[in-house]
Amino acid sequence: MDMLTQALVDGLLTGGLYALIGMGMTLIMGVMGIINLAHGQMMVVAMYVTFVLFHYLGIDPYITLFISMPSLFLLGIFVQRFLLNPLMKVESILPENQVLMTVGIGMVLTEIMRFIFSSNYQTVRTSYSDLTWFIGDISLGAPFVFAFLMAALLTVLLFLFLIKTDLGRSIRAVAQDKEAAQLMGIDSEKIKVITMGLGAALVAAAGTMLMPVYYLYPDMGGAFTRKAFVVTILGGLGSTVGAILGGITLGLAESLGSTYIGQAYDDMVGLIMFILVLLFLPGGFKRLTKV
C-alpha cells in the first residue's frame, strides 16, 4: 500500500513538471498549428543556462529562473521571427516543412551545447537537493515539491494572462481563427513570435526547476520532446487544461510503470498510453472536459 501511495505521490509531483512542458507545446500548437520538435532541446538550453550560472557564479538554481526564462523567451522570439515566419512565404510541396525546420533547430541546439559543454553528464548539487520530508511513511523530495508548486503558480499566471490581458486575448483569438483575428486588427505574425517566446519560457522554467534533481547532458532534449508530445496528445491538441491533465497522467503512469514493471521501460509506458489514447479516446481529455 505504501509503495502504491509513494508511486502516486512521486507521479503527481513529476506530472506537474510534465504539465509545464506540455503547456508550452500546446500553446505553440494552438497558435501556430505546428508541433515544436525543438521543445525538449530548448529546455536543455535553459538547463545549461542554469548550470553555467550556478557553476561559475554560484547563483542559486531557483534564482536563475529570472535569467533562464527571459533568455529562452528571446531564443523563442529569434527562432520564430527569423526561421519559422519566413517559411510562410516559401512555396514548398512538402506540407510539414515548418516541423522539419524545428527538427533542424533542435539538432543545431543540441550540437552547439555539445560543442560548448561536451557530452559529459553535469549536475547541480545544492544543499536542498537531497532534502526530503516525510508524511507518515511517504517521502517527499523537497525540490520536487518546489517544482510542483512553481508549475502550479506558473499555470495560474498563464491562465490569468490568457484570460485577463489584451495580449492574452489576442493569442487566444489567433488560436481560434487566424483570419478573423487579422480582420480585427491583430498582427498575427507578432502574436506568433510572442507565443513561441512564451512557450520557450515555460519550458525553460520546467528545465530550471528540474536542475537540482536531475543530471544534464546534450542529448536529453529528444526524450523530453517526446514526453511533451505524449502530454499534448493525452490532453487533446491545443488545450491548456488538457495539457495539465495529460502531464499529471503521464507522470503517474511513468511512476507506476517504473515501480511495478521496471526502470528500463519508463519510456515505453508513455508510448503505450499514447497508443491507448489514440485507440479509445481520440481527441484526448479535451473530449471529456469540453474545455
Residues that bind other proteins (CB under 8 A): 34-35, 37, 83, 86-87, 90-97, 99-101, 103-108, 110-112, 115, 222, 226, 229, 233, 237, 264-265, 267-268, 271, 274-275, 278-279, 282
Q: How far is the CB of 224 from other proteins (least distance, A)?
A: 13
Q: How far is the CB of 103 from other proteins (least distance, A)?
A: 7
HSE, side-chain direction, 13 A CA sphere, residue 188: 20
Q: Chain-centre distance of CA 119, in angstroms?
A: 22
Nearest Cα neighbor of 130 from 139, 122, 141, 138 is: 141
SS3 assignment for the chain: CHHHHHHHHHHHHHHHHHHHHHHHHHHHHHHHCCCCCCHHHHHHHHHHHHHHHHHHHCCCCCCCHHHHHHHHHHHHHHHHHHHHHHHHHCCCCCCCHHHHHHHHHHHHHHHHHHHHHCCCCEECCCCCCCCEEEECCEEEEHHHHHHHHHHHHHHHHHHHHHHHCHHHHHHHHHHHCHHHHHHCCCCHHHHHHHHHHHHHHHHHHHHHHHHHHCEECHHHHHHHHHHHHHHHHHHCCCCHHHHHHHHHHHHHHHHHHHHHCCHHHHHHHHHHHHHHHHHHCCCCCHHHHCC
Q: How far is the CB of 193 from other proteins (least distance, A)?
A: 17
Nearer to other proteins, 69 or 113 (CB): 113
Q: How far is the CB of 277 from other proteins (least distance, A)?
A: 11
Nearer to other proteins, 212 or 270 (CB): 270
Nearer to other proteins, 53 or 228 (CB): 228
Q: How far is the CB of 110 from other proteins (least distance, A)?
A: 8
Amino acid at 16: G
Q: How far is the CB of 266 from other proteins (least distance, A)?
A: 10
> CB–CB of 124/50 below 8 Å?
yes
Nearer to other proteins, 115 or 134 (CB): 115
Nearer to other proteins, 187 or 267 (CB): 267
Nearer to other proteins, 139 or 282 (CB): 282
C-alpha cell, 11 = 507521479
Q: How far is the CB of 41 from other proteins (least distance, A)?
A: 10
Nearer to other proteins, 168 or 222 (CB): 222
Nearer to other proteins, 109 or 204 (CB): 109
Q: How far is the CB of 275 from other proteins (least distance, A)?
A: 6
